[in-house]
Structure 1
Amino acid sequence: MNTMQKVPTGVPGLDIITNGGLPRGRTTLLTGKSGAAKSILALQLASQFARSGIKTMVFSVEETPADLTDTGNGLGFGTSELVTEGKLRFTDLTLPLDASTIVTGDYDIVALVHRIEAAVSEFGAQAIILDSATALFSPRPPEDRLRHQFFELIRTFRRLGLTALVTAEAPDDYGPRTTLGVEDFLCDVVLVLRNLVDDERRRRTLEVHKYRRSAHQKGEYPFTITDKGLMVFPFGVQGPYEVPPAESRFSSGFAGLDTMMNGGWIRDSITLVRGPSGSGKTTLSGMYAKAGASRGERVAYYGFEETRGILLRNFASLGLPLDEFVKKGNLRIECSYPEATSPEDLLVELRRSLDEFKPSLIVLDSISSIAHSTSARGFRQFMVGFAALVREHSRSALLSQTLTIHEDDTAAPFLSTIPDAIISLDYERHQRKLTRTISVVKMRGSAHAEDAYTMHIRPGGLTVDAPRDSKAEEESRAR
């Protein structure tokens, strides 16, 4: 039995959901409505193929080679260099702007086929990009004629042994795959790009609609366009994660909490801190970051509710100065409002930080701000994607979540399955006194305190009192 050979795409996440890339010597159809990023992905693939040693030709029908080259250079594909090095070549099939179209006789692409054959032979091309078939078959011939001509085009690519990608316009996000009416069976792979409006925010997705003779991930996967092209987020796809050493622990920076957690937090774990506004979540986040930076670890702190200056000022006022660690370079604090970006862009920034800054500890304060700036589906995908990134890089993370008076810890129930540990902060009013409490709701793989401890916000951070007997507590409150 022959094993299908695949060409890696080099697009982050795409090789994961296609189980290795696109089929060598076969044709892939890339469809989507206008603005779905078809041309960008096609250009990114062409550049990656060429860079990996596969001589590639781009037949441009909608945009001129000069415009495509500028786009590729702007996205960091190094398009001009690849052309200069003889690894990538553009062939212009665009119509002159002042040209008129005269239709006579039957539609025939024999001349185009011969032109492609000659160009491929002269350049020695192994891969070809045609962008786009919709523009190529315009004006549109009769349906039977179009189907026959498109089939001849695909058969030519196959006969020449080319790894081919053809783009085509889709009339609707979930309707027919192309406006041409060409059926999917003519191509071995069909990729569908979508640019949807979800709760008043744009959300881009990619789906492997079909992949002959190969397993692939099902469903839609979010993607975003970065300064380096497309990045796909294969949420929920398990990767080859490393298993951390057993019982490897570190201090939370909060001595009382370390005791409650039987010696500190387990390394390479995700912890969720829940509680109402004013319960001490950000203070705990600052203690976590300061403790890690004091040990010489790299810490990435993302704040979504305050500006960077105010956050640093508040920590300093509480006796948790962080400026020295920022100056040393082992603590990075990034503050922004989620409404000004998208969950996918936040994941891009997190991935970039993990790859370049390489923090061992990550803080997100608070994920509630992210939830309020996107749809329920978008928030869930962000959380799953974040967890996948943390697991993939074997890092530890602290997430804070604000619970309002209309919520409890059952809000967004999927959140309970993502973290390895859940810390609950709360407070009660008794006449003029505010009593804060902290409890460990969950901690995978470790024994932990079952009682709620009384907690105080003091200069230097948080402290706890040993739990008192519940009966004595009630009698004390009654007095």
Structure 2
Amino acid sequence: MDEKTTLISSGTPGLDEVLGGGLRRGCLYFVEGDSGTGKTTLGLQFLLEGLHRGERALVVSLSETAGELATAAASHGWTLDGIHVRDLTGKVDDGGAPVLFHLSETTLDERVGHLLEALDEVRPERMVLDTLSALRSLSDRSGNLRRQLEIIQRRAHQLDCTLLVVDELFGEQMLHPRSLAWGILRLEQCIGDYGPQRRRLYVPKLRGQPYLGGYHDVRICTGGVEVFPSLRSVPLQSGFKHQAVSTGLEPLDGLLGGGLHRGTSTALLGPPGSGKSTLVSQLAIALAGRRERGAVFLFDESVEIFRLRTKGQGLDLDPHLDTGTLRLTRVDPAQCSPGEFAHGLRRLVDEDGVRFVALDSLNGYLHAMPDEQFMHLHVHDLMSYLSARGVITLVTMTQPGPFNTGERLSVDLSYLADTVLLQRYFEAHGAIHAAISVMKKRYGDHEHTIREYHIGPRGLMLGKPLTRFRGVLTGVPEYLEEQGP
């Protein structure tokens, strides 16, 4: 058999991608993790996938009764009809069904014997053993559990049955025979100081096939376990032209040296109220008007408030939202993990053809990270992926205050973004003005002037370069001519 015929789906597409195609038929896998990490749910998905493909499926439960398994399945909208269930818990089920033995009244050999009988009777192509810890509690001699598991593994292999063994994390090697496994999947959950717990998965061991290493975010919702492969492990391919695309604002095109280039990222940096979101809306409308499919992700305000504000500035997003050329999505940092967000964005780019992405703002995205020390790496991976797909990316970043030009940014955009547009307030003759300039452009030249701008009834309007002022970026410039401006 070639590799394509020996790999079978786990029932979780994201997990199949992490595993490099799926599980190898006839092999043993451990699914490890603490209680509540989704081990049993993942096992049921594996069996339901087999049932969908016309395969015989068996679950041998040593921890939950058949009724409890059925209740767990129903919570996801599933039914266990068609799956052979062997309840070896020794507990009385909800319906009062009689049991043949109690856990304390049997030995490990007897329990394994019942398990082998179920194997021979059903002759499954997929089987889940839940859990190994119940068998471990019956083992009174070191190495006895391993020998019994070898018997189970050998019999499953003879039947060409793929076996998933669910287990709690356990440290002693003799009582946890990990070396027998073809692969190990480990599920974890992290509890932060605020918000719901975050779940993740990684593969400590997998023989004979390439897989995506590192942690991958996991979510348990109605419908089962979802796995979101890390962007860091996605192969980067490029095959597009780095041509410039007009912003719809001729002065801004001049500042940028021709416009926004495909496959590049632009950071809009400025204090609150300086018009960063307005500029995002204006650029999104200009690109959508040329049938460039785009997506704007909001971290700081609701979709309705964003739409109403842009309408008040003479920028109407509704026609493009109605046609689906533009998507406007509110992201809740407390509910959506970075991996889940990146996975959804990846689907928009690869499957829906989105070629313009805006994140408003990076400050909000920062709060979506479970550990801020990895913010640079995660955003860098996101930018690299979008760049390799030829996507025009806009990211807004709010400064602490209008005149705090010396304060350090919480995220260093100097290497993350290809282009940096700096928006600044400055005071002149008793009034507050706003200025915009290009501080950096990685690809090609740009205009080095500072232009004044204002937000009017048609959005953001740029004026001529401020050639008669000195020190605009300090916030308190000096007028260089005797006559007033």
TM range (shorter): 0.7 to 0.9
1:403 Cα deviation after fit: 2.0
Kindly provide the CA deviation profile for residues 274-300 of structure 1, in whole angstroms up to 9, marking residues without a partner as x. 222122211111102221232334332
The residue that corresponds to 2:395 in the other structure is: 399
Matched letter for residue 184 of structure 1: R
1:241 Cα deviation after fit: 3.0
Secondary structure of 1:117's aligned partner: helix
**Contact 1:113–1:156, Cα closer than 8 Å, also in 2:** no
1:357 Cα deviation after fit: 5.8
The residue that corresponds to 2:96 in the other structure is: none
1:103 Cα deviation after fit: 3.0
Kindly provide the CA deviation profile for residues 376-412 of structure 1, in whole angstroms up to 9, marking residues without a partner as x. 0464575356447645765433221112157856532
Does residue 429 (structure 1) correspond to residue 427 (structure 2)? The answer is yes
The residue that corresponds to 2:358 in the other structure is: 363
Kindly provide the CA deviation profile for residues 132-157 of structure 1, in whole angstroms up to 9, marking residues without a partner as x. 22234444544332232223222332
Matched letter for residue 45 of structure 1: F
TM-score, structure 2 as length reference:
0.81
Kindly provide the CA deviation profile for residues 319-372 of structure 1, in whole angstroms up to 9, marking residues without a partner as x. 212233334443332335433544344445545655776543232211211213
The residue that corresponds to 1:166 in the other structure is: 165
The residue that corresponds to 1:35 in the other structure is: 36
Does residue 20 (structure 1) correspond to residue 16 (structure 2)? The answer is no
**Contact 2:43–2:164, Cα closer than 8 Å, also in 1:** yes
Report the Cα distance in structure 2 between the residues aligned to 1:238 and 1:75, rounded to whole angstroms. Answer: 30
The residue that corresponds to 2:299 in the other structure is: 304
Q: 1:41 to 1:265 in 2, by over 3 A?
A: same
Secondary structure of 1:447's aligned partner: coil
Report the Cα distance in structure 1 between the residues aligned to 2:454 and 2:112, rounded to whole angstroms. Answer: 81
| Counterpart pick for 2:234 among 212, 220, 238 | 238
- Following superposition of structure 1 onto structure 2, how do residues 449-460 of structure 1 map, counting pairs within 5 Å? 449-460=447-458
The residue that corresponds to 1:111 in the other structure is: 113
Matched letter for residue 230 of structure 2: P
1:316 Cα deviation after fit: 1.6
The residue that corresponds to 1:476 in the other structure is: 479
Does residue 462 (structure 1) correspond to residue 457 (structure 2)? The answer is no
Backbone CA RMSD of aligned residues: 3.6
1:206 Cα deviation after fit: 0.9
Q: 1:26 to 1:301 in 2, by over 3 A?
A: same
Matched letter for residue 132 of structure 2: A
**Contact 2:421–2:438, Cα closer than 8 Å, also in 1:** yes
Identity %: 26
**Contact 2:336–2:368, Cα closer than 8 Å, also in 1:** no
TM-score, structure 1 as length reference:
0.82
The residue that corresponds to 1:264 in the other structure is: 259
Q: 1:387 to 1:147 in 2, by over 3 A?
A: same
Secondary structure of 1:57's aligned partner: strand
- Following superposition of structure 1 onto structure 2, how do residues 318-357 of structure 1 map, counting pairs within 5 Å? 318-335=313-330, 337-347=332-342, 349-351=344-346, 353=348
Kindly provide the CA deviation profile for residues 103-154 of structure 1, in whole angstroms up to 9, marking residues without a partner as x. 3666444523531431343xxx322222222234444544332232223222
1:42 Cα deviation after fit: 1.7
Report the Cα distance in structure 2 between the residues aligned to 1:377 and 1:13, rounded to whole angstroms. Answer: 26
Report the Cα distance in structure 2 between the residues aligned to 1:44 and 1:459, rounded to whole angstroms. Answer: 54
**Contact 2:230–2:339, Cα closer than 8 Å, also in 1:** no
Matched letter for residue 397 of structure 1: T
| Counterpart pick for 1:376 among 340, 359, 372 | 372
- Following superposition of structure 1 onto structure 2, how do residues 433-452 of structure 1 map, counting pairs within 5 Å? 433-452=431-450
Q: 1:67 to 1:380 in 2, by over 3 A?
A: farther
Matched letter for residue 257 of structure 1: L
The residue that corresponds to 2:154 in the other structure is: 155
Q: Which range is displaced more, 429-438 or 185-194?
A: 429-438
Secondary structure of 2:143's aligned partner: helix
Report the Cα distance in structure 2 between the residues aligned to 1:14 and 1:388, rounded to whole angstroms. Answer: 23
Report the Cα distance in structure 1 between the residues aligned to 2:377 and 2:359, rounded to whole angstroms. Answer: 16
Report the Cα distance in structure 2 between the residues aligned to 1:17 and 1:106, rounded to whole angstroms. Answer: 35
Matched letter for residue 190 of structure 2: L
**Contact 1:26–1:188, Cα closer than 8 Å, also in 2:** yes
| Counterpart pick for 1:193 among 187, 190, 206 | 187
Alignment size in residue pairs: 463
Matched letter for residue 145 of structure 1: N
Report the Cα distance in structure 2 between the residues aligned to 1:319 and 1:363, rounded to whole angstroms. Answer: 20
Secondary structure of 1:157's aligned partner: helix
Secondary structure of 2:144's aligned partner: helix
Report the Cα distance in structure 1 between the residues aligned to 2:278 and 2:415, rounded to whole angstroms. Answer: 25
Matched letter for residue 401 of structure 1: M
Matched letter for residue 182 of structure 2: D
The residue that corresponds to 2:268 in the other structure is: 273
**Contact 2:231–2:343, Cα closer than 8 Å, also in 1:** no
Q: 1:217 to 1:351 in 2, by over 3 A?
A: closer
1:194 Cα deviation after fit: 0.5
The residue that corresponds to 2:130 in the other structure is: 131
Matched letter for residue 148 of structure 1: R
**Contact 1:32–1:177, Cα closer than 8 Å, also in 2:** no
Does residue 183 (structure 1) correspond to residue 187 (structure 2)? The answer is no
